[in-house]
Structure 1
Amino acid sequence: MSTPGLGAWLPRRRLKHPDKTALIFGDDRRLSYADLATAVERAAAVFADHGVVRGDRVAYLGENSPEFLVTLFGAAHLGAVFVPVNTRLAAPEIAHVLADSGARVLVHDPSFTDRVTAAVSTAPVAHVLSTGASARDGEPGLARLLDRAVTAPPPEDVGLDDPAALVYTSGTTGRAKGAVLTHGNLTWVSMNTIIDYDLVSSDVSLMISPLFHVASLGMGALPALLKGATVVLENGFEAGRALDLIERHGVTVVSGVPTTYQLMADHPEWSRTDVSSLRTLTCGGSAVPPRIREAYEARGLSFTQGYGMTETSPGATSLSAAMTRAKAGSVGLPHFFTDVRVVGEDGMPAPARTVGEIQVRGPNVFAGYHGQPEATTAAFALDGWFRSGDLGYLDEDGYLYIADRLKDLIISGGENIYPAEVEGLILGIPGITGVAVIGIPDEKWGEVPIALVTVAEGVSVDTESVRAELTGQIARYKIPKTVTVVDDLPRTASGKVRKADLRARLLSAP
């Protein structure tokens, strides 16, 4: 086990803590570290029998399950590259991921058979394996193949710079690009998480967000397994079920987005659930609205928040629970082994509280975009810092604040409007549960901001009431010209609003 790659993690954990529970799935399935390591070695043997060698891509399509992690580590064992596929994709989008990545093997949950069948009709995948006992065509599935598997070869001796995963971005501005994450990227982001969130081996981490998203994987499951903690896997989110699992298993760590935390706090069982075991609540996707924060603080719980993206594996900064109020609105300080700076249009570091582009440097920053050298070059500054495409500023203490995405910047009458600033104020209005501020064309001003909001049941809001709330808090040109109540806002797996979808919907409306 001389390799520093992910393929050696579980054999080492089996050596140190063979009987410790690694995974809990459903109501009756538990895998010790010895069980998990053995399953991974059998998966590696199965993949090797299907011709997978170092550098090949092994894709997985399915909700959270032990098979997801068995496939990931089985691929890593052989030096192959794991490709998690977003379960929300349509068949043509799945086909794009498979074709673009060059996946040799696709492992999928049986519930996705119809989409897989349609996708592989246009994508050259050599082998398709269902996680069940058999596939639709009667061929043995992964479960049966694992039972029959022979001993796998030793873990491939990969380096930290070798690719471990190919994770496709959400594609909100075009076709998804595959971000190449190395063994080093995933190791260092795990180390950052362990250090900055004080993860310990006695932790019990509840994964209610999908593992195909890099936040759940890189800052949830992987650091927990590296540390020897226990991971409780859920293949979907239901607030009452999540509360039951917290109490039943003594969960100490939960990773989620504001919506999941709000749904738990609004559930009838919230006040009756024993949440005394919880000590770390991480929240990504967007800032925690004050009313949600206060609901948890009333029960002695605080959030850690952060900032990152697929290309940073994903963590770039974190805000400790202790600083939530003192640095309200901030996404925190750079992770322990990561550097963050803000630069102006001249490429030089910007003064404190001056908005500029956020750039990141560190061993967690990705290697580049698969098969897209020009996009990779454009993603990095000349001195090697990754260009996030996000706008923000650092305060005098080095805490980062997000202004907005460069692509979401609204320019109205020559004035810059950063939607995140406006959205934060609108979310503070009682009864509003979600908001997206976008720019629409205007003959006079070029663009004007409008707001789309979701509201709690029984709540009524209109343009004038929202504008009245904002008047005096921000400049008039920043206040949305119209406010429209919608049933829901389209979101990515990480909880971010798909503003491109909203713009397309509005522009296509009669």
Structure 2
Amino acid sequence: MDASSTPTPDSGLGGPAGFTGLRYGELVERRAERQPHRTAIIHGDERISYGQLLDRIRAAASFLTEQGVRPGDRVVCYSENRPEILIALYASSRIGAVFTPVGIASPPTDVGYILQDLSARVLLVSPHTVDAGREVPGVDGIPILSLEKVHDLALPHLPAYVPGPAPEHRPTADSAALVVYTSGTSGHPKGVTLSHGALFFNGVNTLLGLDIVADDVTLVNTPLSHVAALNTLAVATLYKGGTVVLDSKFDAGRCLQQIEQFAVTTMFAVPSMLTLMAQVPGFTDANTSSLRWILGGGAPMPPELVALWASRGVPVLASYGLTEAGPSVSFRRATDAALKSASSGTPALLTDLRIVSDDGSDLPPGQVGEVLVRGPHIASGYWGNETATAETFRQGWLASGDRGFIDVDGDLCITGRSKEIIITGGENVDPAEIEHLVVQYPGIRDAAVVGRPDPVWGEIITAVVVCDDTVELEELQQFLRPHLAKFKIPRVLERRESLPRSPVGKLLRRELTPISQDTPVQR
């Protein structure tokens, strides 16, 4: 499926030339023209000014054109976090190509599927992924290009500067700019198609929903292959003219050091990241005073974790987003960070929400149902997958698959995933509700709740935990009884060394099958 065949809502913003600022990354280029000497990106010992960033974007655009990349072609980038991802992304956009970032956690088989699914024109690799890139199934016949010069390999690589940059492509609002692959719940990943118009309005939503200022220093250490890191903070910070501190991966101790070293003011974190930072020796004395706020997402934020960071004067702003929404849907206000820990905040200004029952009828405030999302920032659909597109994008609304409600203040509160609902004895159970309580039990460091097949109850509530050996099922049940209905109490306890999570900390429930008969289980 190409951009012309992707189902798109009528944005009313099309036309042969779109409008100024529409092209994905154009606002970064315009920012660079206005403040070329300010620092745009810090990566290790490297500092890139906005002027240098613009030169490198233009040079990369010329390079890709010389390599045969044309408007509508797909460029896949397989790399850890580094500035060249953003450079290649904006260069692709400048010449009308469609960009797909793929993180290093993706195995070569997944990369091979993505290349085939997109009919990719080129594959970009880093020195860290070049060997894996060459092992990607089906890569034969697809040019492999390097993000930087590799001395012992004769691979074409992105230049830092070229005279006479490639001419700028002017997209329509509905033409594809970015395809981001999501893990999904089963089978192959799905490519979420985000148009130039959707990404422009996601930027508007984000800048109106978050207090991002021109002097912000934003730490990005979750993969740029995920739209939360890419579009919510990195891109928005560059739009405002701030500085992005880019790290290849999250390390709790190094993160605390970087906050102090660079006077970081904003960052994105999932709950596990904040928990690990709090467990670093010396956390109590760590200097986090520069932080104005931390944007939380990827998983529900435990209230006690919000309270811990609030005690340090750092609000954790829970947000709700979806790759299919670009991702911005709602943001919590800083003043509500500690007071309304269950809230994901008010919907972004360009976003409409509905909470619907199983039959599709609207539910009043306070009642739990599926969350539907609408707005100009919503994806066009899934690349080449009309069936999945029809199932998720319904009459202008994105069916999120998440369950939640709107509270009396108009805030969105997420209670769980529709697809993760456990049905035990005819009762529906949201696992997230139980998980929030299980992780509060002493000795449990991480937890997931799943349904295991049971001949009597259909499914039996099972807690899968990372814990100390002292945790006993009966004691955990006693701890939970005051807080949960009887049918929600776990009846099985499984222990693991760790839980499967995505690179941004999202729990991968589908991988929580019993691993062997030797798995420690209590009933």
What is the TM-score with the length of structure 2 in the denominator?
A: 0.92
Cα distance, 1:135 vs structure 2 = 7.1
- What is residue 13 of structure 1 aligned with on the other side? 31
2-structure distance, mates of 1:496, 1:89: 15
1-structure distance, mates of 2:38, 2:475: 56
2-structure distance, mates of 1:150, 1:254: 36
- What is residue 500 of structure 1 aligned with on the other side? 510
Q: In structure 2, do the counterparts of structure 1 residues 9 and 333 end up closer, same or farther at CA, with 3 Å as the change threshold?
A: same
Cα distance, 1:172 vs structure 2 = 3.3
| 1:467-482 alignment runs, 5 A limit | 467-482=477-492
Q: In structure 2, do the counterparts of structure 1 residues 63 and 290 end up closer, same or farther at CA, with 3 Å as the change threshold?
A: same
2-structure distance, mates of 1:375, 1:215: 22
Matched-pair contact (CA < 8 Å) for 2:494–2:519: no
Tell me which amino acid in the other structure corresponds to 1:5.
R
Tell me which amino acid in the other structure corresponds to 1:265.
A
- What is residue 392 of structure 1 aligned with on the other side? 404
1-structure distance, mates of 2:413, 2:20: 41
Matched-pair contact (CA < 8 Å) for 1:361–1:385: yes
- Quick one: which of 352, 364, 367 aligns to 2:365? 352
Q: In structure 2, do the counterparts of structure 1 residues 432 and 355 end up closer, same or farther at CA, with 3 Å as the change threshold?
A: same
Cα distance, 1:138 vs structure 2 = 2.1
Matched-pair contact (CA < 8 Å) for 1:306–1:317: yes
DSSP 3-state at the match of 1:83? strand
Identity %: 37
Instruction: Say whether 1:138 aligns with 2:154.
Output: yes
Matched-pair contact (CA < 8 Å) for 1:4–1:160: yes
- What is residue 269 of structure 1 aligned with on the other side? 282
DSSP 3-state at the match of 1:31? strand
Q: In structure 2, do the counterparts of structure 1 residues 135 and 250 end up closer, same or farther at CA, with 3 Å as the change threshold?
A: same
Cα distance, 1:459 vs structure 2 = 6.8
Tell me which amino acid in the other structure corresponds to 1:67.
E
1-structure distance, mates of 2:260, 2:435: 34
Aligned residues: 502
Tell me which amino acid in the other structure corresponds to 1:484.
E
Matched-pair contact (CA < 8 Å) for 2:40–2:243: yes
More deviation, 482-491/262-271: 262-271
Deviations 1:472-498 (A, max 9, x none): 311111111012232110011231111
Cα distance, 1:320 vs structure 2 = 1.9
2-structure distance, mates of 1:439, 1:123: 39
DSSP 3-state at the match of 2:512? helix
Instruction: Say whether 1:439 aligns with 2:451.
Output: yes
Deviations 1:189-230 (A, max 9, x none): 222222221101110000011111111001011111111111
Structure 1: runs of 5 or more not aligned:
none
Specify which structure has the bigger relative contact order, considering alpha-carbon pairs within 8 angstroms and separated by 6 or more residues.
2
- What is residue 412 of structure 1 aligned with on the other side? 424
| 1:107-506 alignment runs, 5 A limit | 107-119=124-136, 121-123=137-139, 126-134=142-150, 137-142=153-158, 145-147=159-161, 149-382=162-395, 384-455=396-467, 460-503=470-513, 505=515
1-structure distance, mates of 2:486, 2:129: 49
2-structure distance, mates of 1:460, 1:506: 22
Matched-pair contact (CA < 8 Å) for 1:197–1:280: no
2-structure distance, mates of 1:184, 1:248: 37
1-structure distance, mates of 2:141, 2:237: 32
Deviations 1:244-287 (A, max 9, x none): 21111111001111111122222123233322211020111122
Cα distance, 1:101 vs structure 2 = 1.4
Deviations 1:320-363 (A, max 9, x none): 23113432312221112111111112212112222211100011
Tell me which amino acid in the other structure corresponds to 1:43.
A
Tell me which amino acid in the other structure corresponds to 2:41.
L
Cα distance, 1:507 vs structure 2 = 9.7
What is the TM-score with the length of structure 1 in the denominator?
A: 0.94
DSSP 3-state at the match of 2:129? helix
Structure 2: runs of 5 or more not aligned:
1-18
| 1:85-104 alignment runs, 5 A limit | 85-104=102-121
Cα distance, 1:394 vs structure 2 = 1.6
Cα distance, 1:289 vs structure 2 = 2.2
Cα distance, 1:137 vs structure 2 = 4.6
Q: In structure 2, do the counterparts of structure 1 residues 114 and 157 end up closer, same or farther at CA, with 3 Å as the change threshold?
A: same
Matched-pair contact (CA < 8 Å) for 1:53–1:78: yes
More deviation, 7-16/180-189: 7-16
Cα distance, 1:178 vs structure 2 = 0.3
Cα distance, 1:7 vs structure 2 = 4.3
Aligned Cα root-mean-square deviation (Å): 2.0
- As a proportion of its length, which structure holds more helix? 1
